[in-house]
Chains A and B, each alone.
Chain A
Amino acid sequence: MSDLQSQDYIRRSASTLTPPSIRNHEQEVAKLIDVSRCIGCKACQAACMEWNDLRAEVGYFEGSYDNPLDLGPSTWTLMRFTEWEDEKGNLEWLIRKDGCMHCEDPGCLKACPAPGAIVQYANGIVDFISENCIGCGYCVTGCPFDIPRVSPVDHKSYKCTLCSDRVGVGLEPACVKACPTGAIMFGSKTDMTAWAGERIVDLKSRGFQNAGLYDPPGVGGTHVMYVLHHADRPSLYAGLPDRPRISPFVEAWKGILKPLALAGIAFTALAGFFHWVVVGPNEVQPEDEARARRQLQEAEDRK
């Protein structure tokens, strides 16, 4: 998208001015991942690799269905498998498609020091504009979901784009297109929320009393949402944060500290300048030299 003029930015990293935002009459989009309908086939992973031309290095089998083992610069989405025994002793196989959540209040964007390296479009998608990325890894500290990965080769940070290039021309993301069970849906956030509501009613009728929608308010909601059978315990699903929020350390660093620091530095410099104006230089006087000479002479004489 970066080589086209999107002109629909609602947020732009490290920017103090309003970014080009005039073409903002867009619906907020959302991807809805219905964990209860996922069969773990990894078609979404394959589709993501295919559309985005990503090929991670082939790793090793580590006794887990997770393959590869973690997100990476070339792995933007990953099925994470959890085997969980419920209170009745039933084994549940919880499979969650991990990847960028496209937060309404993105921590990565807040932490980023490079102007325009991270942007958010009016449709809610959070995108990394790689030519502006400086490879510092601050986005990693900003993200409450541990998503961005910095490439050791080109020192750029990467993550799911929500197929912003496809969505921009009216297509759904590649993972959505590929999903054989309809576990991944895409549309306006309003529609997805409504659809999730229907799914939750259905799940509750099947005995999943705590079924619910994961759209965490701590980050202003997300543009990737989950339907969970155990929405009361998101962390069951391979450590999905129960109450994600931007770390208070990051908030302090990117919030109050910036103006306070510049003010402190400016105050010190101004104090120096006005001291110069009011008091002026401290200069050695002829009598200092005379008395110093006397001192040295006396010492000489004593020898």
Chain B
Amino acid sequence: MAEPHPQPPAHWSGSEPRQVVAPDGSLVGALPDDLDTTALRELYRWMVVARRLDRECIALQRQGELTVYPGHEGQEAAQVGSAWALGRDDFVWPTFRELPVALIRGVDAVQYLQYHRGTWHGGPYDPRATHFGPICIPIATQVAHAAGYALGRQLDASDDVTIAYFGDGATSEGDFHEAANLAGVRRLPLVLFCQNNGWAISVPTASQTAGEIWRRAEGYGFPGVRVDGNDVLAVYEVTREAVARARAGDGPTLIEALTYRIGAHSTADDAGRYRADPDVEAARAFDPIPRFRTWLVGAGHADDAFVAACDEEAETFALTVREGVVATPGPPAEWAFDWVYAEPPATFERMRDEALATERR
């Protein structure tokens, strides 16, 4: 069991977040009433699988099999808990750090990682089939896409819910504001899920915004909630409530999930330039995985054999994904042109032919 550090990360200060399981693994809130033992074990299993795959991806990058890779270590509870609260037809608009969400949505990990292998932009998976939008780099722009998609489903009188993932830094962007404002005006079936991990590359949340992010919701005319983002059950519960509100036609919710980016911004980033190792070690004391394991085992939902089986499965899965990634060939030259236009102009086709002829010489 991890010893909770007395000092949580600085950006967790202020309003108390919703919590179900405390950092020491003790139950401090009401358990979600719709999670049975099987579901509780699934939440744990996914967090472990996602953590192990993250480490494999970093290794793959170091070995030259992936280009730049943005890790998610420390954010597993925020992602697994929120993704678990979604219905099959609900639609996710991710950033570039939502690999755990992608796994839960059924996105093939090898396909997903083609993005980070430099094989394809956006994501080679089918966003419509997986209900998981293209990986999105330009900060907060996907929040506007999510608002539009939610509007589209609303106009179709569907009860599907849309969720947009973004970070603390994204709340400084105009697109976040514009999308949240539109969501409020149109009472869109939208969940705005902010993972406040304390860092926008090198800039801490305190230099990013002076207020508490969840409070912005009031200005847009819908509820905001602050949750312990390293508490998978609390994240699940607040997301479930937000999804239910959206599905009932009661409009959007802004969720601020307090978490911590244990790793660097990406494999191209040297976090040692802007933050001290002791701070990161302190944050590890709030690691979501040991916390949930302590409660899960203590409450009798799992035993050591289950924990070991999860580790084993995660190991096997990571190695299988590795094999798939390494075996993926580079894309053919035609792909640089194939899908730019649905109806390619003749001028474009002539240039494609010129380029491909040059490539073959």
Chain B associates with chain A: no
